[in-house]
Amino acid sequence: MSGEGNGEAMGLFLAQLEKGAHILRGVCPFTNNPQFLPPHFNITTRLKLPQHPDLEKEPLTLGEHLRRKRIELGLKQKDLAARLGGTASTVWSWEHGWKIGKRYYPKVIDFLGYRPAPEPDETLLSKATEN
């Protein structure tokens, strides 16, 4: 018996939907008033995360280039150290202005994908040797 009543109620419900009737879906959490909403709806929100402060300025040193690329890739200093064959403290010191050893240059340039420092200008080099 109860199954037949449910079937009739469902039929009435579907008939109301076809006529465009709004269905009571809940109570507004702010006013405690009933809300009338269409049966199906989607809400999407796109969040924009703030940019990392180190990505806002142009890198000047090789260490700043390394730091920028590492942050862009979402790597930790220990991850970069493993790629370059050093330690996390070594990467930290490079990023904070310490000199990078020549043996690491090929790996650093390979990691960056470019040579950050331009080649020395030959005219400046020749002037320096003349004096």
Residue 33: predicted pLDDT = 67
Q: What is the DSSP string of the chain?
A: -HHHHHHHHHHHHHHHHHTT--EEEEE-TTT--EEEE-S---------PPPPGGGTSPP-SHHHHHHHHHHHHT--HHHHHHHHTS-HHHHHHHHTTPPPPGGGHHHHHHHHTS-SSPPPPHHHHHHHHH-
Residue 28: predicted pLDDT = 62
The number of residues making up the chain comes to 131
> How far, in Å, CA of 77 to CA of 46, rounded?
30
- What's the pTM? 0.51
CB 71 within 8 A of CB 54: yes
Residue 115: predicted pLDDT = 86
Per-residue pLDDT reduced to its tens digit, 33-87: 666 554 555 677 787 777 777 777 888 888 899 999 999 899 999 999 999 999 9
Residue 102: predicted pLDDT = 87
Question: Which residues 6+ apart lie within 8 Å of 81 measured at CB?
Answer: 87, 88, 90, 91
Q: Residue 31, Cα to own-chain centre: how many angstroms?
A: 37
Q: Which of 96, 97, 94 is nearest to 107 (CA)?
A: 94
Residue 60 vs residue 14, higher pLDDT: 60
Rounded to an integer, the average pLDDT of 12-24 is 59
pLDDT band at 123 (very low <50, low <70, confident <90, very high): very low
Residue 69: predicted pLDDT = 93
